[in-house]
Structure 1
């Protein structure tokens, strides 16, 4: 049986320009909005959360308000934080791992390379350290010591119909998630592609740990999805246009495919 996928938008940031999203672009001064999502995978009584978002404390610290606590977003589809026993952490940047502490019962699925990156010498460099928050990394380390982390090296199987795949680029251990649905394999790109334009037009995102890996990752996304329209970028507001609302206005159903043609 295939999996259901919901994208839950918990925050948005509109005070941005295209220069914040693309290294190469002809209109860098134009406004360019960003959405923040977490993703829920469900099959029968199995529930897997992909990323945790961040909480009000982090929102205040970074002056990037959230529209709702990720726990409230989950409650809208009938889930409590304590129900979550597995979290796939695509990478340890604040907006993807800033809510680890909100899910105390969860075992984390994380690339070994990401933990090494976030706790190693690279974090002495402010440019590489900026998207991370020390408290979030400490929470991940605590989970290691409590036996609540499963490390993956490259490709890894989570369960039947769900796998993770190390992409790198944006962060050294960034992983995409491949999910079997009724319409084929959906690839949750996370920040391997923040926007459709990143991979369709090969425009690198400005926050990059390894440019070669980022560019190769764009091609890898096409290999992981059954069709290009089943690649889901991590932050693109167009996801809300292309995929149907399912319940509350901030919840979108991804496993039935887009409800309109997506330009390539």
Structure 2
């Protein structure tokens, strides 16, 4: 089976406790990766929920779907992947990284600095034998029509992947926002500001305007099945 040009991978779920949600109630969230066929290569964005310690598992109660199985359902295997991109290096986004010794894995220098400082993630998920991280210090067009854009917030080194396609640009936004609705609210706040709305208004981040400058037709997220699309 030939992989589709863009395929969402179901990599399991976890329960975010009420201490980490806006309304104080626990919420079950999916963990998604994305398989992208671009320029004759397969690119993988995020690799699933990794093995954690007992305390972390008790806190989030994850149910993991093996990355190899998710890729097989999409007609691919780890050996087919030419490039891995992690939006950031927390354990729920890098679980399958050890399947890729020798494969370039793109991450921001700011994110790798957090790993080196300790306590940011489970190091065995990122410092495995054969790990080949390529550090980026900001925005980069890593392949023609394939852009990495820093989107700090959730972590200092968070990044998004912009995919130029004939049918419209797609942004894989990772955990820039908890949901597509949150992204839509941030986008509308930018519109309100540009059209002279009277304060108070939400404080803007610098990067949503950069993502929107690519004129995306779809924005997809790591922990939300909903998709943002422009009005009209």
User: 8 Å contact 2:98–2:126 — kept in the other structure?
Assistant: no
Q: Residue 88 of structure 1: which of 85, 89, 93 is its match?
A: 85
Q: Residue 216 of structure 2: which of 201, 209, 226 is its match?
A: 226
- The CA deviation at 1:67 is 4.4
**Cα pair distance change 1:94/1:198, threshold 3 Å:** same
TM-score by length of 2: 0.77
**Cα pair distance change 1:67/1:134, threshold 3 Å:** closer
Q: Which has the higher contact order (CA 8 A, sep 6+)?
A: 1
TM-score by length of 1: 0.69
1:82 partner SS: helix
Aligned match of 1:103: 100
RMSD: 3.1
- The CA deviation at 1:94 is 0.7
**Cα pair distance change 1:45/1:223, threshold 3 Å:** closer
Counterpart check, 1:176 vs 2:160: yes
Counterpart check, 1:34 vs 2:29: yes
User: 8 Å contact 1:178–1:187 — kept in the other structure?
Assistant: yes
- Per-residue Cα deviation, 1:68-119 (whole angstroms, up to 9, x for no partner): 2011000111211122231112211111112211222411111112111221
User: 8 Å contact 2:147–2:162 — kept in the other structure?
Assistant: yes
Higher strand proportion: 2
* Alpha-carbon distance in 2 for matches of 1:218, 1:67: 31
User: 8 Å contact 1:89–1:108 — kept in the other structure?
Assistant: yes
User: 8 Å contact 1:4–1:181 — kept in the other structure?
Assistant: no
User: 8 Å contact 1:112–1:153 — kept in the other structure?
Assistant: yes
User: 8 Å contact 1:193–1:218 — kept in the other structure?
Assistant: no
1:33 partner SS: strand
Q: Residue 236 of structure 1: which of 208, 221, 224 is its match?
A: 224
- The CA deviation at 1:31 is 5.2
- Per-residue Cα deviation, 1:110-159 (whole angstroms, up to 9, x for no partner): 11121112212xx4xxxxx4x6112224239x62xxxx332211111121
1:201 partner SS: helix
- The CA deviation at 1:175 is 0.7
Higher helix proportion: 1
